[in-house]
């Protein structure tokens, strides 16, 4: 995972889990990952790394159900039933779909078009009301709400209309100064396992102007987003220095890099331990699948009944 995933999604996972008010289900969406070209030799390893990331970030498998999407085939079955209430035109107009087609013009597949429908199934199969995801996922959540409404109207199901559970880091900008931090954009992201040297090098590479003062460049705006998140107590002082023309960019950059590492250090230490405990990680995955399947099976049974399939 990169810092955008952590701040935009996983921090929300943790917050919701901590309230103790909800049943929480968190999913590594391996089936979604095959909707664009991918390295099949790396997938099994990478998806496990994300489970380890979740655990290292502090998710408690006793409280939350943690799963691989593909372990619960009912997600895919439900997505097919949901696809009966969505039109092809609606799916083709989604900004995320258009972006992906631009990135992979030779892989404009049915799986890609179905991405938001599968996401709706991931959410609604657990009748989830709150979804901790970054702001980039808002159009997909709108689709999930639409599907819930249509299913309820047409078939009399009782799906909730899920809403996004937003975090302070709901939009983490790219280190390039353009767009969002993303694994698929080179030089845009910080990995959660990066060392201080790596983080410093990456933050130093954020494009800034040569002099302070005046309208901020996109890179500088990104830098101040990081300052707000990681150095909230001194951000105003940096802003004033910028306006006064006295801000030294390398100083603010290095301070941000150190603050990011300070936040990531406990994560990295926990991660190193968990990664070596194969039995524990396997147990979490197995137990999560068992618990999730019970809920998922029941929802699919209900839907099949309402749709006249059984
Ligand atoms: P992805 O990496 O696109 O599979 O996204 C996984 C989760 O991380 C989703 O909830 C996204 O909304 C969230 N996410 C990804 N990139 C960012 C970002 N730059 N800022 C905030 N959240 C993000």
What six digits make up the tokens of 6?
């952590």
| 240 neighbors 272 (Cβ within 8 angstroms) | no
What six digits make up the tokens of 42?
């790396």
Mean pLDDT score of the chain: 96
Mean pLDDT of 138-149: 98
Q: Which fold has domain 3-170+278-306?
A: Rossmann fold (3.40.50)
Residue 180 Cβ inside 6 Å of ligand 1? The answer reads yes
Q: What is the pLDDT of residues 158-195, one digit of tens each?
A: 999 999 999 999 999 999 989 999 988 889 999 999 99
| Nearest atom of ligand 1 to the alpha carbon of 173 | 19
What six digits make up the tokens of 270?
């926990």
Measured distance CA(266)–CA(278) in Å, rounded? 20
Assess whether pLDDT exceeds 90 at residue 140. yes
Assess whether pLDDT exceeds 90 at residue 49. yes
Residue 141 Cβ inside 6 Å of ligand 1? The answer reads no
Percentage, residues of the chain above pLDDT 90: 93
What pLDDT shows up at residue 215?
84
- Determine the Cα angle at 150 with ends 117 and 27, to 5°: 35
Between the CA of 218 and the centroid of ligand 1 the distance, in Å, is: 20
Helix axes 40-57, 11-19, angle to 10 degrees: 50
Residue 5 Cβ inside 6 Å of ligand 1? The answer reads yes
| 122 neighbors 27 (Cβ within 8 angstroms) | yes
Phi-psi region of 185 (alpha: psi -120 to 50; beta: other; left: phi over 0): beta
Fold identical between 3-170+278-306 and 196-273?
no
Give the closest residue (by CA) to ligand 1 atom 8.
Answer: 5
| 212 neighbors 245 (Cβ within 8 angstroms) | yes
Assess whether pLDDT exceeds 80 at residue 154. yes
What pLDDT shows up at residue 213?
73
What pLDDT shows up at residue 209?
74
**Residue 161, number of CB atoms within 10 A of its CB:** 15
Q: What is the pLDDT of residues 211-260, one digit of tens each?
A: 767 788 899 999 999 999 999 999 999 999 999 989 999 999 999 999 99
Alpha carbon separation from 290 to 54, 124, 295 (Å, rounded): 18, 18, 9
Q: What is the pLDDT of residues 279-305, one digit of tens each?
A: 999 999 999 999 999 999 999 999 999
Between the CA of 211 and the centroid of ligand 1 the distance, in Å, is: 32
Name the band, by pLDDT with cuts 50, 70 and 90, for residue 11.
very high
| Nearest atom of ligand 1 to the alpha carbon of 183 | 2
C-alpha torsion sign, points 120, 123, 126, 129: negative
pTM over 0.85: yes
What pLDDT shows up at residue 303?
98
What six digits make up the tokens of 147?
């599907």
CATH number given to 196-273: 1.10.240.10
Mean pLDDT of 1-7: 97
Percentage, residues of the chain above pLDDT 70: 99
Name the band, by pLDDT with cuts 50, 70 and 90, for residue 310.
very high
Mean pLDDT of 84-89: 97
Mean pLDDT of 5-12: 97
Name the phi and psi angles at 60, rounded to 5: -105, 110
Residue 47 Cβ inside 6 Å of ligand 1? The answer reads no
Q: Where do the structural domains in the chain lie, given as residue ranges?
A: 3-170+278-306, 196-273
| 134 neighbors 9 (Cβ within 8 angstroms) | yes
**Residue 279, number of CB atoms within 10 A of its CB:** 7
Name the phi and psi angles at 40, rounded to 5: -70, -25
């Amino acid at each position: 995972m990169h810092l955008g995933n952590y701040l935009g999604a996983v921090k929300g996972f943790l917050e919701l889990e901590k309230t103790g008010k909800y049943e929480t289900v968190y999913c590594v969406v391996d089936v979604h990952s095959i909707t664009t070209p991918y390295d099949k030799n790396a997938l099994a390893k990478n998806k496990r790394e994300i489970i380890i990331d979740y655990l290292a970030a502090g998710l408690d498998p006793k409280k939350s159900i943690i799963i691989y999407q593909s372990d619960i085939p009912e997600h895919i079955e439900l997505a097919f039933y949901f696809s009966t209430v969505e039109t092809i035109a609606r799916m083709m107009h989604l900004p995320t779909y258009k972006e992906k087609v631009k990135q992979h013009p030779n892989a404009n597949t049915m799986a890609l078009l179905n991405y938001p429908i599968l996401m709706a199934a991931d959410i609604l199969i657990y009748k989830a009301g709150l979804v901790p995801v970054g702001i980039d996922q808002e159009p997909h959540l709108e689709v999930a709400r639409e599907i819930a409404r249509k299913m309820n109207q047409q078939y009399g199901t009782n799906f909730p209309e899920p809403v996004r559970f937003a975090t302070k880091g709901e939009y983490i900008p790219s280190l390039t100064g353009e767009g969002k931090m993303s694994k698929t954009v080179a030089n845009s992201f910080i990995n959660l396992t990066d060392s201080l040297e790596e983080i410093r090098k990456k933050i130093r590479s954020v494009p800034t102007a040569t002099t302070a003062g005046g309208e901020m460049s996109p890179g500088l705006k990104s830098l101040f987003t990081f300052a707000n998140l990681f150095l909230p107590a001194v951000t105003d002082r940096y802003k004033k220095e910028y306006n006064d023309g006295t801000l030294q960019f390398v100083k603010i950059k290095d301070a941000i890099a150190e603050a990011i590492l300070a936040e990531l250090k406990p994560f990295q230490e926990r991660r190193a331990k968990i990664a070596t405990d194969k039995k524990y990680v396997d147990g979490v995955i197995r137990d999560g699948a068992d618990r999730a399947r019970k809920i998922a099976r029941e929802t699919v049974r209900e839907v099949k009944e309402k749709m006249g399939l059984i």
